[in-house]
Amino acid sequence: MSDKKNNFTTISFRGGGFQFKNNYWISPTVFIVLLLLWHFGSTLGFISNLVLPKPTEVLIAFHDLYVTGDLYLHVGASLKRLILGWTLGTIIGIIIGFAIGLFALVRAGLAPIVAAIFPIPKIALLPLFIIWFGIGELSKINLILFGTLFPTIIATYGAIDNVDRSLIRLGQSFNLSWFSITRKIVFTASLPAILSNMRITAAIAIILIVAAELIAAEKGIGAYIQMAGSLFAIDRLLAGIIILSCLGLIANWLIGLTERKLLKWRNL
Amino acid sequence: MELAVKNVSKTYGNLLVLNKINLKIDEGQIVCVIGPSGCGKSTLLRLIGGLENPDTGSIEARGIPPSDCLNPLTFIFQDFSLLPWRTVEKNISLVLEDHGLSTSNRNEIIRSVLRRTKLTEFSDRWPRELSGGMKQRVGIARALAVNPSVLLMDEPLSALDSQTSEILLVDLIELWEKQRFTSVYITHNLSEAIRIGHKIVVMSRRPGEIRETVNIDSEIMDREIRNIELEEHLWNLLRDEAMAAEWELKNE
């Protein structure tokens, strides 16, 4: 005890942990290990081929898709619907969101309707849309448009509500025109929220297109998966699912790219 | 340009914030307004700058601003109010863009105000890269860019540490020596008011009323860093109010 009283002792460090470290090699390793487990599980018979075919078989199904040109056919059909529906839904959603965010009258009129339609699972509208727009492209594109429209409206006017009022006051105090304040301050300030909403709507669009194609389509990734399922061709079914995963990843990557370009000032 | 605040009152809901304020701001004069927190000093400034409407009374200006004045009543804000998505240069450019100036003309003005506020080498920086003092320099540069008749400063140094605010205060005094602008300067810092004000208006707690006006005749440049006597006088006026204001907020 007298030692502790009279001598200096080093204070032990207790501030570690609770922080991210970038381990770039971990995730590829986990991925490869899982693939190997799957491969050896299938070849050694732990996993029944009826339930889960070998990874190489999925790869062959993928190769077939590519060689026969069906890949372009199905992915192309889905992409066309996705891009058209998502782009239209996003643009119209941003415009309506801005109208609600900027004009009290529009908000009073539209916000309750948006709130009422937003929670409807949009896939429930597909039968209605088929009656309205026919079995062809229009019903699917409209479904995606509808599915992306409402989240975009809500995210956009929510973003506008959150714009720092002091920046708007700044604009007014320097006599900036209404249009200048809207474009240079309100729009730019709400851009981060609008862009991060695009990640969500891209995922929604992919969910909706597959659901719609499962129900009623001859072409498209959903239709391909549906066909494979009814033929019990699990290798092709899995190939379809992998394409969907890639589609989602690519969409996410593109939005990330846009964010880095448009939101340079945040330096994230 | 000179300004006159005539019998101005302002209420928010049922709350009377300003009660019958009369104030004259002469050409080339810096009028400091001090008072306890919540006394309506900032509201008074926003009223003068036309960002709010008085319930009664009026705010009048006399004199014609010079022809190159783009925005006669110009604010400098406590929180700087810089757009984070624009560089220093572009933040200043923002307030020039709506005036139909040529690009070269605009760049000329930007270069000039950056030089006057010692910011020249920071022109391409983002606001997030700047210290508080530097951000407020940008705020001052932006205000100077429109060549204002009256500078409305809302606690411009209150968000800065005391060393930085001392440096910026000296810069503001030098700037005034060169340009002799008219200004309303809101602050809660008594010694700041004594250093830079030609006239100090002491306001009372809510409802804000003018309690006393002190004129300081000595040249701003010649003043001592501290004037203990006057500071004590002002503090005596404010102390009870400040304490009561503190108590009031906590019971809200």
Boundaries of every domain in chain A: 50-266
With CB atoms and an 8 Å threshold, state whether A265 touches B79: no
CB proximity list for A138: less than 8 A, separation 6 or greater: none
Percent of chain B with pLDDT over 90: 51
Distance CA(A165)–CA(A156), nearest Å, equals 16
Minimum CA–CA partner of B81 in chain A? A167
Query: Which CATH architecture describes the domain B1-65+151-163+182-235?
Result: 3-Layer(aba) Sandwich (3.40)
Residues constituting chain A: 268
pLDDT above 70 (res A2): no
Mean pLDDT over B111-133 rounds to: 92
Question: How would residue B104 be classed by pLDDT, with cut points 50, 70 and 90?
Answer: very high
Query: Is the Cβ of A166 closer than 8 Å to some Cβ of chain B?
Result: yes
Cβ contacts of A169 on chain B, cutoff 8 Å:
51, 81
pTM above 0.90, yes or no: no
Chain A closest CA to B80's CA: distance in Å? 9
Find the CB nearest B126 among A166, A173, A265: A265
Mean pLDDT over A219-227 rounds to: 92
**pLDDT tens figures, A95-141:** 999 999 999 999 999 999 999 999 999 999 999 999 999 888 999 99
Mean pLDDT over A248-262 rounds to: 93
Whether omega before B207 lies within 30 degrees of 0, making that bond cis, reads yes
Minimum CA–CA partner of A172 in chain B? B51
Question: How would residue A30 be classed by pLDDT, with cut points 50, 70 and 90?
Answer: very high
Q: What is the pLDDT of residue B251?
A: 44
CATH 3.40.50.300 maps onto chain B at: 1-65+151-163+182-235
Which residues is B15 bridged to in the sheet? B12
Chain B closest CA to A67's CA: distance in Å? 48
Under CATH, domain A50-266 is a member of which superfamily?
MetI-like (1.10.3720.10)
Minimum CA–CA partner of A175 in chain B? B71
Query: Is the Cβ of B60 closer than 8 Å to some Cβ of chain A?
Result: no
Distance CA(A190)–CA(A207), nearest Å, equals 26
Distance CA(A161)–CA(A141), nearest Å, equals 30
Question: ipTM, 2 decimals?
Answer: 0.89
Q: What is the largest CA-CA distance in chain A?
A: 91
With CB atoms and an 8 Å threshold, state whether A170 touches B79: no
User: Is-contact A66 A242, C-beta < 8 A?
Assistant: no
Distance CA(A141)–CA(A126), nearest Å, equals 11
